[in-house]
Amino acid sequence: MREASTIRQDEKRVKSDNEQIERMVRIGESAAREYIASKVPSKETEDLEITVEVEANDELKIDVEVNLEALSVKSNYRELVEGAVEAAHLAIKNELDEVDRN
């Protein structure tokens, strides 16, 4: 499942700092992984792939994709993946808000 969002930010600050973009990717991936781990025991997770792409042009575009194969989440799979994607987006937004405050 893939979900994208656009966050308005100062393009110059974000675009010029590749280190910040890499940090956002790591934060988003970690948040999605932690969300899944909080809902599904690791022994029941067969395969988990999380991809976070950040594109800084006029706006900051964040694309999060979560692919999950787990033994016990067939019925609420969509809900679980949507929650992980939302957690990633929220973690990145919180990071950007923190950068703005400094």
Predicted confidence (pLDDT) at residue 7 exceeds the cutoff of 70: no
Query: What was the pLDDT predicted at 40?
Result: 85
Describe the crossing of helices 18-39 and 77-101 by its angle, rounded to 10 degrees. 140
Three-state DSSP class for 27?
helix
Structure tokens at 28: 């988003």
Tell me which residue has tokens 């994709």. Answer: 65
Q: Quick one: DSSP state of residue 102?
A: -
| Strands ordered across the beta sheet of 60-70 | 2-7, 60-70, 45-56
Q: What residue spans define the domains of the chain?
A: 2-97
- Please compute the mean of the pLDDT values over residues 15-23 and round it to a whole number: 76
Query: What was the pLDDT predicted at 73?
Result: 61
Contact 70, 44 (CB under 8 A): yes
- pTM (two decimals): 0.81
Query: What was the pLDDT predicted at 81?
Result: 87
Contact 64, 3 (CB under 8 A): yes
Query: What was the pLDDT predicted at 102?
Result: 66
User: CB under 8 Å to 6, separation ≥6 — which residues?
Assistant: 59, 60, 61, 62
Q: What is the pLDDT of residues 26-84, one digit of tens each?
A: 999 999 999 999 988 888 888 888 999 888 776 778 888 888 887 766 658 788 888 99
Query: What was the pLDDT predicted at 18?
Result: 81
Fold for the domain defined by 2-97: GMP Synthetase; Chain A, domain 3 (3.30.300)
Predicted confidence (pLDDT) at residue 14 exceeds the cutoff of 60: no
